[in-house]
A and B are shown apart, each in its own frame.
Chain A
Amino acid sequence: MPFELMSGSQAAAVAVQRAGIDLVVAYPITPQTAIVETLANFDARGELGGDFVSVESEYAALACCYGAAAAGARVFTATASHGLAYMHEMIHWCSGARVPIVMANVNRTIGAPWCLDPDQGDSLSQRDTGWLQIYCSGAQEVLDTIIQAFLLSEELLLPCMVVFDGFYISHTYEAVDVPEEDKARAFVGKPSFKAQVRPGSPANMHGLTTGDNQIHLIRERHDAMQRAPGLLKSINSRFMETFERGYDVIDSVIAPGVKTVIMAAGATAETVRWSLPGLNNTGLIQLRMFRPFPCEDLRSVIEAHGVEKVIVIDRNCSTGMGGIFAQELRSAIYEMENPPAVQDIILAGGIDLTYEMLKKIIEQEKTEGHLEQTWGVDLR
């Protein structure tokens, strides 16, 4: 099938249908609703290829996914913002229980007050829950990443959150190369992970244990997650052979001699990418995988290019500390021999990043020297 015009949310839904799914669990929340609506439309046309259920809350949605995945089924749900926060207990539980789940989270600010703009604080506040997190910068990338995420999640027995910005991606239409159903299903294959609930086979799954046992389980989960960058690379190279496009855990655009790069995740990375020609001598690192944090990939690209400064676009803010991507990067480069300086641009509240703001950031460097932290509103 050739290119189709679709939104990021529609692309997410199409990916799920193309990959082949046993159960979609649906609950609406802006700006995610179009994902589950599109999947409901597949169901209405008899094209979903699996079960579809509308439940009474996001908490129920993830709990239902947990039960079905424990029975060996391939499951998908989508949420955003308050919905993700409401799931929090189940988010921890699902990774502790080592069930594969793919969930789309469409970034939206968490209140109070109510706000719909795409602050990344919803997904980033689930950083330490044991979920894989991958951030996407456009509809095509959303589609391709969700297809890959099923394989990643089922191989590692870790749930995977595919994250993208509300409105800038979820509601923006672009031409998307949609894989043919047969080709996509052959690529993903049937779910082959072992069911935890096997009738006839007694097992006491996830009952009370001690800290002495728990530390081994947490370590196993940590080790499994450390395998994710390598595994995603190999899934991606097979994806490239089949579909002739692909994505690494980070994607860098750094011309020879460039010493200043902008690091961004999600839609802002795309803004930076298209602005590069006007930002002389500036490069881009698009951060795709956030959990696990791709420390090695980042350090080697920084070292290879002798990067001296990284300007981090954080559409989020950990109150009392600053942008979360910047903190993570600082931590990753701390032990480097010549770590680059890090400037943190905070776009909390999900405010937009414009070409003019990027120009101003680069000019500021020349006039004011290195700044550790800049609030996006001061760049307008």
Chain B
Amino acid sequence: MTALTAPPRATRPQFEEPGLPRPRRRQLHLQRKITGVIVALIVIVQVYPLAWLFITSVRTEQDFAGGNPFALPTEITFDNYARAFATGNLGLNILNSLIVTLGSIVVIVFLGMMGAYALQVLGFRFSRFVRALFLVGIIVPVQVALVPLFVDYAAVNLLDTYQSIIIPLAGFALPTSIYLFSSFYEYIPGEIYEAASLDGAGPYRIFAQITLPLSVNTMVTVAMVNSIFIWNDFIFANTFVLTDDLKTIPLGLQNYIGAMGKVDWTATFAAVCVSITPLLLVFLLLNKAMTYSLASGATKG
């Protein structure tokens, strides 16, 4: 974790350079240039598909059919976007995605915090066993839950509801959330709790007035790392949601592609762009915090 916040050591090799003989120095300079070019090339290959997506979404149809992949569009048109919104149900899909994402995040953050508090701060005899139990959820693939949950939902009439997607999304994200919170709680000094206890605060007050306010940073991390995966979830929504009214953005997009993908290429590109832009914007705005959250969330998981 500390490694992530450490500033890049751009100045590192400087102390040895002045002493180097000239040819070696030139060689180092050349090496650095070559490295720069290679990295630039790799980044271009990595990002070009995305750029292509956005460029194509503003091309006219004739221009697209003309087919030079690297040419800039001859004219920029936003008709594609107009058609995408007219045919699709993208607004409703985005709203559904917001509901599902916010609902899941609230559950993941609060239950994660509570679980970590019970395991790390309160402590109890079987806490090691419970921790091991939560570890299972990190390793096990989500597909194992599809058939059983489908059967269970059918039995209790939960199919085709927001809850039917939120329950598995939150359930499978909970272990990582608990681990992130507990590894943070390890660093809260015991003296704080002892002092609070001496002042007569019980476990509930300590949670509400000490642990919770201290957890804000971790809450943000947990929320960010999960929001990406939940916003983009396809498999649970595709399995448990049947009517158009509840479809989230990946499903709405999938519908759109199914209906228009072969008919109206450029409008479909526009629809795809619409679907990925909200998250992309949030990501670029919160860039630093997001990349940090993603990395720490992944390693803890």
A-B complex is real: no
Which A residues are closer than 8 A to B by beta carbons? none
